[in-house]
Structure 1
Amino acid sequence: MDISSALKALSPDLSDSTKFNQRWGQLPGAAAALAIAQGAAKHRGLTLVVTPNSASAQQLKDELVFFAAPGTQILTLPDWETLPYDTFSPHQDIISDRMRALYQLPTTSEGILVAPITTLLYRLAPVSFVTGNALVLKKGQTFDLNEQARLLEATGYRRVDTVFEHGEFAIRGSLMDIYPSGSDWPLRIDLFDDEIESLRTFDPETQRTETQIDAIELLPAREFPLTKTAISDFRLRWHERFEVDHKACPLYRDICDGLAPSGIEYYLPLFFDQCATLFDYLPRNTRLITFDELAPLAERFWTEVNSRYENRRVDPERPLLEPKEIFLPVAEAFALMGGLPRTELAGQTPVLPALLPPKVPVNAKSETPLAALEQFLANKPDKLLFAVESAGRREVLLELLRSIQLSPTHFDSWQEFIAAQQAIGICIAPLDQGLQLSAPNLAIITESALFGERVQQRRRRKSGTDNDLAIKNLTELHIGAPVVHIDHGVGRYQGLTTIELDGQSQEFLELHYANQAKLFVPVASLHLISRYTGSEETLAPLHKLGSDTWDKAKRKAAEKVRDTAAELLDIYARRAARKGFAFKDPGQAYAAFSASFPFEETADQEQAIAAVRADMLASTPMDRLVCGDVGFGKTEVAMRAAFIAVQSGKQVAMLVPTTLLAQQHYESFKDRFADWPVNIEVVSRFKSGKEIDAIANKLKDGKVDIIVGTHKLLQPDFNYRELGLLIIDEEHRFGVRQKESLKSIRSEVDILTLTATPIPRTLNMSMAGIRDLSIIATPPSKRLSIKTFVRVRDDALVKEAVLRELLRGGQVYLVHNEVKTIEKAARELQALVPEARIGIGHGQMRERDLEKVMSDFYHKRFNVLIATTIIETGIDVPSANTIIIERADKFGLAQLHQLRGRVGRSHHQAYAYLMTPNPKTLTGDATKRLDAIAAADTLGAGFTLATHDMEIRGAGELLGDEQSGQIEAVGFSMYMDMLNRAVKAIQAGKEPNLDAPLGSAVEINLRIPALIPDDYLPDVHSRLIMYKRIANAADAGALKELQVEMIDRFGLLPDPVKNLFRITQLKLTAELLGIEKLDAGASAGKIEFNKEPQVDPMAIIKMVQTQPQKYQLAGANCLKFMHDMEHAEARLSTVETLVDSLAQAH
């Protein structure tokens, strides 16, 4: 009998009608998922699996997808992940998964549903609501846009400008974008008149369409309706149940206004005559599978429900429904479960011959690191599968296995592996633990069995991220914000305005200057505008139009820029001229080190690691900047670089700005290099003077491989025997003097700089080709942005935040930055939340104790960590998704951002609570910092926060006083552009132009409509961004790409938009030819050249001589042309032909 048949024979039959109740015994590792998948395959009906909690439900679902036969329907009904009677609503992705399951359940004939026990205790909307409000859309169907928008809002969809999340829709002309509940991808509906012409999925990150589909089901986006009838019923039932002043109840008023307030889910019974339970949705012939210990968990949940009801029922603004109206009593739920045929995963004798999963740890310190695996293989299992998390991890493991002459066959699925002849295979699989059966002799070995616990990330898709900082800046523009115009200086933005000019509508940016002067800037010239950053908005200068103040400020800045650029280039020229050390390729050892990384690398991280490795193996010294937001994985890039250096016999110094960070990085390095013979030391305030002297001596003798420390490492008493790599963390946090010291080292060794909030100076140096740059802009997949709240410190709020996290199986950080009172804070929290398991961590603890605390927290031995800012950087704990920061007003912006980055590292919604004393006692700067961090809650916000920090602190603190004066005069963005141009000029052997440091802009006026009409793209910010992107396009290819994108996102281009693209193309060509101004009317026009035109003068003279009726010279630098150009198309075509003919004479 082959393995496949043997497994089928083993698997129990769920359809056996003689066994109403079965016991399968406890199945270790992945054996439970295998047994359920095989049992469900034989069952002619639905299999409902009830798990102890949300985390186990998600893990089991992933494992079932792997083991189940292709085409098996596997649904999940997740918990809301909110507390009973919460004032939060579930995340939209959770609602989406729930709606998909509830919609499909009644008609499911076979398949598996996985749900945590708490989900069974919630009452649900009636089956008729879910199935009756689903709308099927097909190509060719009639579709009334306005009517559909009304229906969507009534079923819980939100109208937005751009669709990113489930439950959102947007309308632009004849296009509707919608992210349907239950769908994996958002949808773009393209209409022709009132008929659906096409249905296409699109990527929410790029907004570009992907594939055509024929039909889709639009499910409700909420579990309750918001129609006029439903609202009327809600009001009626509210008054029946509550005797309160409804005018004082914000929730009641919101519902009456058609809004869905947070926490409305706990008022579900007010929308329906009668609620349902999950059992009402189950099809006939459903079989129940339960895990052990469900009853105590259900009882504990019910106790929590009653406790919260009693504590909160006294609020007259938010009266509560009794628990039995919203939840199913435990006895009732278990009685309903008892009515179903049931299989328990409990008892002593397992139904499968399952053993504990094999443990075969890799011992890197041993001469034979894979000895445990070789010993296991000596028993010759009939079939062995290595399960890895991703393709990248598969390659790493294969490289390691080759060292013991093992080459497993690659399989795409479990079914393919089981059916194959080959005994040993490798496969990408989301298995937490492995599997071992005694007959047949079959085993699955996971990465955690080899390398210790790995932290799996639920991956949805990988995508790059477009980080156009200038464009991102524009999205933050508000009325009255300071902006910089290249030619006129700093003014104030007053919005977009449409003006009739020569009978044509044109869109302009309205800017106000000193003495009530107004400047209207055509949108085609948006590349001349940038957002002013450099000091806070109220201190930004306001220039006077027509005065020479701006020109003086610009020239002064240009002189400074020239000097800075020359100085920078001198350093980098010296480095390029020197021959550096080419590190050895560490080969197999590097593969083993990489394999022990407990996370899956993102695409950007892989590129950064590969780039650093290539730099180090080359003979030119490396100088690479790795930019990435907190928690995006920069430290691992540094670890890999350090490993390469140490393997080549070189020393590594890691320079960090604070002693706390030094200690934290030291611990991270010790942890990461624990299995390797590498000596690591730290120089920080935790060390005595005698210890530091001893370390300095060991460093000189080459007995230290890696040293971590603050700027002390730059002092003369630290002599390295053979320094090969310098890693600089958060360079912008060093003082100017320390940066000067760094310059002298720069040309000697390989340099790797890590930063989360880059100074655009550093970024621009990289973009100008002076420095190599790697941006890790892709967050670990499925990470959600962090909901951030600034609140006055309150015990009830702290208790609620902690309980919400613990209820969904998560962990909490509480930052209490005073060591003296940290024990007291822990006792107070324990009294507040008795069910919490609390640990304490701070910098004054013994190193080993602190390490143990961090390790215990990582392994979930306790679920609340009260700590000082020692956690600012450190180990990733993906299940920690709530952070409470006490006295947040005392922290700097970058520090708050770093701390907040400790959470939000998984697919769960993360929460950050910034606790402050009474707001009246806060300083102005503290308030601004807290406002900025609360606003920048998107992923990758580090870039945005760098500019905010500069506004709050002033540029001086970040860049040194000399440069900051110039930056405040001309604005940050412009200063960087000037520096960029100066660097390029000096690189090309030219002197930077001090009179026109930004080059000259081409002015084109053809008196034809060239704009994005507001009926084509109604959102002002979106219009502004598209204008900026068009104005910034570098060449014809970029313009073509933008046209394709706009047609895709917003529909066919109207004529004014086509004109805008054609005029922008003209501008690009004109710039190359040295044209300054291009003007044309109905019958004539003129072209003005700059002092150094890039056109053959003889070609122009020939045109004038051969066609004098068409062309005339008007002065030394001006060409006039005459032509019948009454209509817009004729005018554009004439000018395009003329400019093209001049380009041929270029």
Structure 2
Amino acid sequence: MEHPVKGLLMEIAEAPEFREMVRALERRAPGRESSAPSVTVSGLTAAAKTLYAVLLRRALGKPLLYVARSNRDAEQVLDAMETWARWFGEPPPVWIPAHDIRPYQGLSPHADISEKRALGLGKLAAGQASLAVLPIGAAAARLESPEFYRSLARPVRRGDALALEDLLEHLETVGYLRHDPVEMVGQFSLRGGILDVYSPEARRPVRVELFGDEVETIREFDVNTQRSVGPLGSTLLLPLTEFPLRQDLLTELAARSSGSETEIFTPGEPFPGWEFQVPLLTPLSSTLLDLSEQAVLFFDEPQELRKEIERLWSLLEPEFAQAQRNGETCLSPDHFYLRWEELAALCAGRSVVNAEELALVHASSSATVSFDFATQPAPRFHGNLALCLAEIENRLREQYRVLLLTTGTGETDRLAELLAERRIPFQRAERPGLRSPGAGGQGSLSWEAIVPGDPAIPSCWIGQGAAPHGLIIPARLILILGNQDLFETSEAAARPVRPRSKISTFLSDFRDLRAGDYIVHVEHGIGCYRGLREIAHEGVPMEFMELEYQDAARLYVPLARLDLVQKYRGLEGSRPALDRLGGASWGRTKARVRKSMEEMAGELLKLYAERETASGTAFPGDDHWQQEFSAAFEYEETPDQQTAIEEVRRDMEKPAPMDRLICGDVGYGKTEVAMRAAFRVATHNRQAAVLTPTTVLAFQHYETFRGRFAAFPIRIEMLSRFRTAAQQKAVLRDLESGKVDIVIGTHRLLSKDVVFHDLGLVVVDEEQRFGVRHKERLKEMKKSVDVLSLSATPIPRTLHMGLVGLRNMSLIETPPRDRLAIQTTVAPFSEGIVKTAIEQELERGGQVYFVHNRVHSLPGIVARIQELVPHARIAMAHGQMNERQLERVMLGFLRHETNVLAATTIIENGLDIPLVNTIVVNRAERMGLSELYQLRGRVGRSNRRAYAYLLVSEEAELSPEARRRLSALKEFSELGSGFRVAALDMELRGAGNLLGRQQHGHVNAVGFELYCQMLERAVQELRGEETRPELAPTIQLGLDIRIPPSYIPEEHQRLRMYKVIGSLRAPEERTRAEQELEDRYGPLPPPVRNLLDYATLKSAAERMRIQSVERRNETLYIQFHPSAAVDTDRLMDFLGRHPGVQFSPSGSLRVPLRGTARGVLPQARAVLEQLQG
């Protein structure tokens, strides 16, 4: 039986006018002698163009190249065409982006674009692309030969002879990196005669084993286990760059180039913009049409494409002229691009479709065959589904067939419920060939009549597809509604957003700064933000933040120096007074606050000093029992874990009561630290209590402690609702008599009827989850017994005190041996994701948590999971279950009797099971950051790769706070990040109750951020710690370093990006910032690239304690701070290799500059890199 949706779409191709258009195109096929006119199609909406293009490709049986106006437009076309192609069971279209850089900008194309172009052009040249989408800038670009692009990919077949050295050289040339073991795309390694390599678009990396020069076997292998999983007959190693990195080529290009950039790079290394110098040696002799001679060209609004080509040339010609005036060695634009007329001439005799939405009158109409297809844009309901349902009912009464496209199962379910309520017959249809992300098998066609017993034959289907907008074809009685027609979503939200820089997460990033808000300038005090102003400084346009102070005085802060500015955050919404610019009031305020915080810090330090002298129990050092217990630990202690154990031991050997916080990532060994402390107490005739926030965690700790202490005569009991009233009564009696050594329980342990015989230690797990009353009880305990707090995400006050040194704190940031990072995916809810996630884990013998924090709908979730994964053994757990029933569920899961646990957040601080390595969290946007972090930490307890899927509802608009929390979880996917997550949580919760009431006034006087900085410094000084003066290097290079308002029009977004860029430190942070800018705002203008280079240079100068980097005429002056530790050997080596460079005893380095002003930043950066090493 033919798929009904496929049949519906194929009806369009059966229309007489469509068939006639196909015949007209066939008459113009290459190789045919025909004077047939060109084909112009009008009346197609934007969505209709993408559908008709796919239908045309199928009808003609040839590749089709869809040409859009820009990269952004082409990406939108790509989503829609992929939807239609999937419905026909065809592979997705190939994406060939245009370069983001023009030849005369002295920069290299983005690596991601270069990789996508290499893959797309290679597939096109090899005849492996049936559909391709590209902007006109890519279609008009001159290219290398088809053989060149085909050669970028290397096939490897079993039984073939293989020149290994040549292949290794080729892999490095096309962008692969040596890395052992191979874990990521673009890596390869060689061990004897075994080559491991991970190619782009490959499902898994491959292992090629040689016998002599012959390929003996090719096997896929698992990156987690590094073990082979299946044989292959052949594999294709795809490139990661369009521009092969050949050392001889780069050396020759550097010799030919007159740019200053090449002079500071080692010969044979790539230099900025080298890719556009290649045609100096080997001219670009081909065009896109040479790569696919039989292809049909589909021009989307050709008049707009022509304007875009003309716009490109209007930029290229003056840039080329300027480059010539600068004496640069370069080729004219016609060596890189075709003009519109040239492209049109090459298309003569080809199968070409000119698609225009409006039917325009052409001057030479006799040379054009026109077809008009009366399509209409689909109505948009902007989330008004009642209006949508009424429209569907009306269309169905008019005998229309209706297809509703959704982006995920959540939207599908929502529509299904509404249609069922209105008694509208429909079917849910899965696309043929639909694959869930990462799934190995092909999905089957599924039908689900939601209205059973209805005799009507449904003419309405719900299917999944990324096409944002639909269309109406009145002549065929077809209505298609896209996901953005149905739901109130924006195009930006519909597309995936690349992860933001980790640095930006911690910043007060001005995301909500508006004119009239208060700010704090570190040197000038509190002012009022009035907006941004562009002012020419030394002939270079610069953007400044305008701040108003008392008496309407103005201060203009260069946006490149936003590190001096913070948004003012006081407590309880206080409104501060403005400072006088240049006056003494700000200095007096800071001095007053500094004195007060020194007094407060002194008092806190005195308090902790008093605790040091308070009466407690000084436990003896390690005896043979303690040594035996430590030796029985089945794992090797990590360095951080060992340090924490030693710090706890030293605390317990002092007579003062211990109060230590162990802050360690989930599963990093905090429990072992606690067990060793408890063992020390129990073996010296004292009792230990382990306090947990949940019953489940109490049970887990009970099992862990019992197993660990099994060989020793120590009695361990549990006091929680897992025990009957009689059992609890017996435990209480034995606890009071001293027969119980260690008791584990929930806040039940803090009840008045719990009496200890001789309590010596309290271990508190996740103290922040206890209520105020329980915390007060704990505070009383801390006066006389040792207290050990365990937490992966400390409460803000605890974290802050730990940071500034006011509380004993141990950090465990080292992961256990073989522990792998948790791969975190944040995505809209999709049954495909759920099915894939569970099946992948079960296939490798693991277990899965599915978290759904709504008890009433949890049984329905269990039923749906069972339908998706029939072979799964599913159990359900939530806090409203009977205690015995919950215990049985948990025990069954522990014993692997079940392999999927659908539960509420009762598992958050729950079971620690090494086999659980996948967790799916539904409605993640409703949870806090600490909660999500703890949930994710339930997996990844072994050396297996762990997965966390944070699924959000498509129906809900995420609040900025929720979006930021989810974004943070994805960014903090590396190991040991819990401490920094807590830092972010502190920012998200606000200043609140962080400090005592007496300090509120001081926080309001200087703002929360500056207050925290000053407090930390005060404590360091009181402790006698060495504090280095803060250094803000001055960088003056006379370059345009800014974010033009034309690039980011919104002021607060521009400020945020200035703050992000100004705080960049590591290269990967810069990469992420570039990706975010390009993803959200398009290709980077030169001033923004300069700003990124400036930030990188400033960061290096800060690390090297450099006061200033200035350009004066043709000389670069670098002034070192007196505290800078200059590597004299490296400095002397640098001076020896550069005779023109001078260094004075005052710490000033003078470097002669070469070339144009554009080369100043690369030269300055190169100098610092050589001095730093």
Scaled by the length of structure 1, the TM-score of the pair is 0.49
Scaled by the length of structure 2, the TM-score of the pair is 0.48
